Chains A and B, each alone.
Chain A
Amino acid sequence: MREKILAAIDKNSKLSAQDLAIMLGSTEEEVKAVIKQLEDEHIICGYPTLINWDKVKCERVTALIEVKVTPQRGLGFDKVAERIYQFDEVQSVYLMSGGFDLTVIIEGKTMKEVANFVSAKLAPMEGVQSTATHFVLKKYKEHGLPLEQEKLDERMLISP
């Protein structure tokens, strides 16, 4: 049931416990209990909303920063990653394989704000060797969902 619930709400967190119970052939109580447990175990970590900010008159800049890091003995990359993700501007931090170590995704109001963050906070941080900043020009798809409006139902209204 855990996996079933997770799969069902992965793309739509608005489904109520009652809906989920009906759709998964369970009871409302069970669904509520399982979700509670998943939240307690921090498997469900939150319920953010997927917003296409480009459509709102509200300037936002997203940047993806490749960060090379000197790992610390006994702590690896975790310590540096933790120092980075504490900043509110940071949306995501991933440890990567390949040519660099951390991917840091930053959101800021202006390009200047992001640049400031990188030069003042990120680059000088202890353990950070180098950074390369890439600004996002347009977002097409996030969390498995296209940001463009869904296309209309083109099917014939009635068919055998």
Chain B
Amino acid sequence: MRDPLSKKVISIQPSGIRKFFDIVSEMKDAISLGVGEPDFDTPWHIREEGIYSLEKGRTFYTSNSGIKELKIEICRYLDRRFGLQYDYEHETLVTVGGSEAIDLALRAMINPGDEVLIPQPCYVSYHPCTVLAGGVPVIINLKGENDFKLTRQELVSAITKKTKILILPYPNNPTGSVMDYDDLKALVDVIIENDLYVISDEIYSELTYKNRHVSIASFPGMRERTIVINGFSKSYAMTGWRLGYAVGPENIIEQMTKIHQFAIMCAPTTSQYAAVEALRNGDSDVEAMRDAYDKRRRFLVHAFKKMELPCFEPFGAFYVFPCIKSLNMTSDEFATKLLMEEKVAVVPGTAFGECGEGYVRISYAYSIDNLKIAMDRMERFIRKYK
């Protein structure tokens, strides 16, 4: 029999998180700090709107790019929050989560051999999606001493004649790092001079704790070469609704919509109606959740300081990324031992790229009470091995 499988697909490594997930699932009464989604329920008025849409029998496909009201609200929102102006008809596409939008953007833009710059540590899907789209992933290893920001120098050294796309994943999962206005500004002329396109994954844009998020698309000359990806999962605690979107230049969005049309048809209808409510009346929910995360963030940063575990202060997303090199263990060993001995699950930094070695990702999408217990256990663990 012939090999039924695609060589390309086989060449892709399964996510490093998966392996760890299997171990954690076996453990009962473990406290997990390994979750990459909010602990809040979707605010009730948003859920209620979804229920209402079902009651009204809105159970059909929507137009491929999403319902008009939602696209209008998305554009209003982006303008209101980040000063980004997009046309809802031609420059907006509603997708099944931000992840679909990432995949579509890569597939719509990559020609065989095109190089895609991926700053790591980062979310796990950019690399495999690039490979599947026929591109060549080029990893930029970010550094702890720069708070895992992408520097101008790092960008310049990674660019070759074949470089076409830069992925810009800020606020960042897993490091919690953000790129402020000045950090982005330093990259803009390099991007333009080298005629690069940017896929800016801004899914955590509402979760910043110092300054409001700045989108690279808001810089002069960047709008026409940037696909902005965002969604409802993190800001409105709507992960299970699977709803995201992409905005960008019409020619790219048009091709992305084409793939979406054939592969997906349309994003879930119920979710789209609920999302309209989220954008219209959800600002105070976002603020309340951000406020809660911020308290926990301070709590964790303080706890690591007390443990004398080096950790830069993260100003975005809901992750802390402490350095565990002083314990003479690999990230994997650290995470496994911590789980076995203290029943606390964290994710090894290496799950997000090789340069995550020496770090672990700790999520604060948990209640303070939970975090307190976990930090007590972790402190005991660290005292033991230091």
CB <8 Å contact, B25 and A22: no
Contact between B298 and A23, CB atoms less than 8 A apart = yes
Stretch touching chain B among A62-70, A99-107, A149-157? A149-157
A98 at the interface (CB under 8 A from B): no
Contact A158–B298 (Cβ < 8 Å): no
Which single member of B36, B291, B295, B368 contacts A160 (CB below 8 Å)? B36
B37 adjacent to A157 (CB under 8 Å): no
B319–chain A nearest beta-carbon distance, Å? 11
Residues from chain A with a CB closer than 8 A to the CB of B37 are 155, 159
What 1/0 flags go to B24-45 for Cβ under 8 Å of A?
Answer: 1100001010111101000000
Inter-chain CA distance A47–B368, complex, in Å, is: 20
Is there an interface contact between B39 and A158, defined as CB atoms closer than 8 Å?
no
Alpha-carbon distance A147/B35, docked complex (angstroms): 27
> Which residues 39-92 in A have Cβ within 8 Å of B in the complex?
none
CA distance A155 to B17 in the complex (A): 15
User: Does the CB pair A19–B368 fall under 8 Å?
Assistant: yes
State in angstroms the CA–CA spacing of A22 and B173 once bound together. 24
**How far does the Cβ of B376 sit from chain A's closest Cβ, in whole Å?**
13
Contact B21 A158 (CB under 8 A): yes
A153 lies within 8 A of B39 (CB): yes
Q: Is the CB of B345 within 8 A of A158?
A: yes
Question: For residue A15, which residues in chain B have a CB less than 8 angstroms away from its CB?
Answer: 368
Of all chain A residues, the one with the shortest Cβ separation from B17 is A160
* Residues A24 and B298 in contact, CB atoms below 8 Å apart: yes
Central interface residue in A8, A25, A157, A160, by most chain B CB within 10 Å: A160
B20→A158 contact, CB < 8 A: yes
* Bound form: Cα–Cα A160–B302 in Å: 24
B296 CB–A CB distance under 8 Å: yes
Q: Which residue of B lies closest to A155 (CB)?
A: B35
Determine the interface band of chain A, counting residues with CB < 8 A from chain B.
10 to 19
What's the least CB distance linking B140 to chain A, in Å?
A: 19
Q: Please, what's the 1-or-0 string for A1-21, where 1 marks a CB less than 8 Å from any CB in chain B?
A: 000000110000001000100
A157–chain B nearest beta-carbon distance, Å:
4
Choose from A7, A22, A157 the contact partner of B32 (Cβ within 8 Å): A157
Count of chain B residues with a beta carbon within 8 Å of a chain A beta carbon: 27
Q: Tell whether B116 is near chain A: CB-to-CB under 8 Å.
A: no
Chain B stretch 4-55: residues in CB contact (< 8 A) with chain A: 15, 17, 20-21, 24-25, 30, 32, 34-37, 39
Contacts of B381 in A (CB 8 A): none
Q: How far is the CB of A127 from chain B (nearest CB, A)?
A: 41
**Known contacts A157-B21, A157-B24, A23 near B35 by CB under 8 Å:** no
Selected contact of B124 from candidates A19, A156, A160, CB within 8 Å = A160
- Say how far A23's CB is from chain B's closest CB, in angstroms: 4
Question: B378 to nearest A CB, angstroms?
Answer: 16
Of A22, A25, A159, the contact of B36 (CB 8 Å cutoff): A159
Pair A23/B296 contact, Cβ less than 8 Å: yes
The one of A19, A22, A24, A157 in contact with B345, judged by C-beta atoms closer than 8 angstroms, is A157
Q: Which of A111-152 contact B (CB under 8 A)?
A: none
Which residue in chain B gives the minimum CB-CB distance to A150?
B367
CB distance from B368 to the nearest CB of A (A): 7
Q: Cβ of A7: which chain B residues have Cβ within 8 Å of it?
A: 291
Chain A nearest Cβ from B57, distance in angstroms? 28
17 residue pairs A–B, Cβ–Cβ below 8 Å: A15-B368, A19-B299, A22-B299, A23-B295, A156-B21, A157-B32, A157-B35, A157-B345, A158-B17, A158-B34, A158-B35, A159-B17, A159-B21, A159-B36, A160-B123, A160-B173, A160-B351
Residues of A within 8 A of B (CB): 7-8, 15, 19, 22-25, 153, 155-160
Identify the B interface with A (CB < 8 A): 15, 17, 20-21, 24-25, 30, 32, 34-37, 39, 123-125, 173, 291, 295-296, 298-299, 302, 345, 347, 351, 368
Since A155-B39, A157-B32, A158-B32 are in contact, a sample of 6 more A-B pairs with Cβ atoms closer than 8 Å, ordered by chain A residue number, is A19-B299, A157-B24, A158-B21, A158-B35, A160-B15, A160-B124
